[in-house]
Structure 1
Amino acid sequence: MQSIQHFFPLLDQPRKAVITAHQKPDGDAMGSMLGLYHFLVQLGHDVTVISPTNWASFLNWMPGVDKVIDFENKRELSVNIINSAEIIYCLDFNILHRTRNMETYLEKAKCIKVLIDHHQQPQEEVFDYGISDTGKSSTCEMIFDLIANSGHDDKINKEIATCLYTGIMTDTGSFRFPSTTASVHKAVARLKETGFNHSVIHENIYDNFSESRLRFIGNALLYKLDVLYEYNTAMMAISKYDLIKYEIKTGDTEGLVNYLLTIEGIKFGALVIDRDEERKWSFRSKGEFDVNAFARTHFEGGGHKNAAGGRSDETLDQTARKFKQIIKQYEKELQ
């Protein structure tokens, strides 16, 4: 994989491009896809944004989201577009299987593939150009760098700024995570020069949920919370019954794992949810405990040092019991 700087000259040569991200795109994934979309369109590229799956409804206000194609709903159209693409931009994921059923088609595509991501251990061999920087707060910050460093800072308009701010804000936990460096604030200051309203973005992201989601969170905190004080760890196991009872939709469980770290003394939070095809884990930590390594070692996952995910084919009860056994190995690290 050649460095992203070697790719910059190709930006000024209009091509047929596809932009994609990981399945169930969050604020950073959607923000980076749409931010890059609005940028490339200004340069004359023919651009299509394809999401591997659907996304949370609280992202539907974002400028350009109406043009995003859901691969699962329009597979034949999506495959044809991928096969005819000259460049595919892969954002906010480090390995192709995170695009779910798009993986095979992306792997077979004969065009130029560009990686822009901030997760550990990228699958570099499948990309022609790219950058993988775990020191960056978000992929949206990296798209900002791409635009600025390629000499196109003048192209940053209100639409781009709105999209990129969304991803930076969500992936930094509203600027409270350690990844919020000086460069993050400098980027936000430049984005604010376009005049977008950041208060409206916060409202759309955080104040835009259903009553049933709030009741679901209350039920989870009251009945599903398991605090393991001897390991400074808290966990939740959410059943499929709860998802159905409270009519939980894509995005409704986002942020639930973060509640676990608000408990005094807790350094490690783990959430497992019973999905149809598998059990999905979310891990969060404070300080030096590496949940990326934990997820890779025990739950076929990965991510960042303080935020990662995993999976299991076991039942909900089985994988929860497995977690409680495994955590005993980390008692000293979590003290």
Structure 2
Amino acid sequence: MKPIREIYPLLNEPRKIVITMHQKPDADAMGSALGLYHFLVSLGHQVTVISPTNWAKWLNWMPDSSKVVDFELNKEKSEQILTEAEWLFCLDFNTLSRTKNLAPKLDKYTGTRILIDHHQQPEVDKFVFGVSNTAKSSTCEMIYDFIVESGNVQRVTKDIAECLYAGVMADTGSFRFPAASASVHRMVADLKDKGLEHTKVHENIYDSYHENRLRFIGHVLLHRMDVYYEYNTAVISIPKIKGFNLKHNICRCICSLTQIFGIDSMHLNISRTFICSPILF
């Protein structure tokens, strides 16, 4: 995998580009994809974002989220777009298996695959260009770096700022995790200068849940949480539960365990009936 900086000189030549992310995209996946989408469109590229699966409705506030193609609902259209694309950006995942039924199509893709991701153990042989950095807070932070390092910081608009801020905020636990480095805060300051309304983004993500989500979390914390103070450990176990009418299943209860004094180790046991996004729901 060649360094991603080698594509910077090629950005000014318009081409057909596809951006994709992992299945059941969260705020970082969708935010990075749409942030990059707006940037590439501003350079004159023809860009399509394809999600391997559907996504939570609370992500639909992001600018141009309505243009994202759901592969599971539009397989023929997605395959045609992929066939015509010269570049394929893969964001917030580093193994093709993370894209569910889209994976075989990505594996057969004959154009240029480009990786931007912050997770461990990337399949580097699958990508022509890329950057993989586990020290980064989020893929959204890496998209910001990509824009800045390519010499296009002036192209960061309010729409891009909102998309990127959403992912960084989510993946840093609202900036309380160690990954919220000084560079993250400098990035946010620049996004504010570009018109970011951070309270609006926070409300769109954290104040738009369904009643059933809170009832589910309450049920789990009351009936499914075990605390072992002698081991500084807390465990949540979630079997198949009926009665909450949850389309996008919720596993974020584990984050509540960080609020218990003296707990250093947290574990989540979950039925495979549920689909867990590790950061946000």
Cα offset, 1:95, TM superposition: 0.9
Matching residue within 251, 263, 268 for 1:271: 268
Residue 115 of structure 1 corresponds to 115
Residue 257 of structure 2 corresponds to 260
Aligned mates of 1:43, 1:78 — CA distance in 2: 23
Aligned mates of 2:277, 2:31 — CA distance in 1: 21
Aligned mates of 1:275, 1:209 — CA distance in 2: 23
Question: Deviation digits for residues 81-119 of structure 1, max 9, x if unmatched?
Answer: 112211000000121101111111101100000000001
CA distance change for structure 1 residues 134 and 7 in 2, over 3 Å: closer, same or farther? Answer: same
Tell me the percent identity: 54
Aligned length, in residue pairs: 279
Aligned mates of 2:52, 2:78 — CA distance in 1: 9
Cα offset, 1:121, TM superposition: 1.1
Question: Deviation digits for residues 14-68 of structure 1, max 9, x if unmatched?
Answer: 1111000111111100000000000000011110000111111111111110001
Of residues 257-266 and 230-239 in structure 1, the stretch that sits farther from structure 2 once superposed is 230-239
Aligned mates of 1:45, 1:281 — CA distance in 2: 34
Cα offset, 1:74, TM superposition: 1.2
Aligned mates of 2:209, 2:276 — CA distance in 1: 22
Residue 201 of structure 2 corresponds to 201
**Ranges in structure 1 where 5+ consecutive residues have no aligned partner:** 284-306, 308-335
Aligned mates of 2:6, 2:230 — CA distance in 1: 51
Residue 44 of structure 2 corresponds to 44
Residue 245 of structure 2 corresponds to 247
Aligned mates of 1:272, 1:76 — CA distance in 2: 37
**Ranges in structure 2 where 5+ consecutive residues have no aligned partner:** none
After superposition, residues 282-321 of structure 1 pair within 5 angstroms as none
Normalised by the length of structure 2, the TM-score is 0.95
1:100 is aligned to 2:100: yes
Q: Which has the higher contact order (CA 8 A, sep 6+)?
A: 2
Contact between 1:272 and 1:280, CA under 8 Å: does it hold in 2? no
Aligned mates of 2:26, 2:111 — CA distance in 1: 26
Aligned mates of 1:262, 1:99 — CA distance in 2: 33
Q: In structure 2, give the amino acid aligned to 1:216.
A: F
Contact between 1:270 and 1:281, CA under 8 Å: does it hold in 2? no
Cα offset, 1:248, TM superposition: 1.4
Contact between 2:137 and 2:168, CA under 8 Å: does it hold in 1? yes
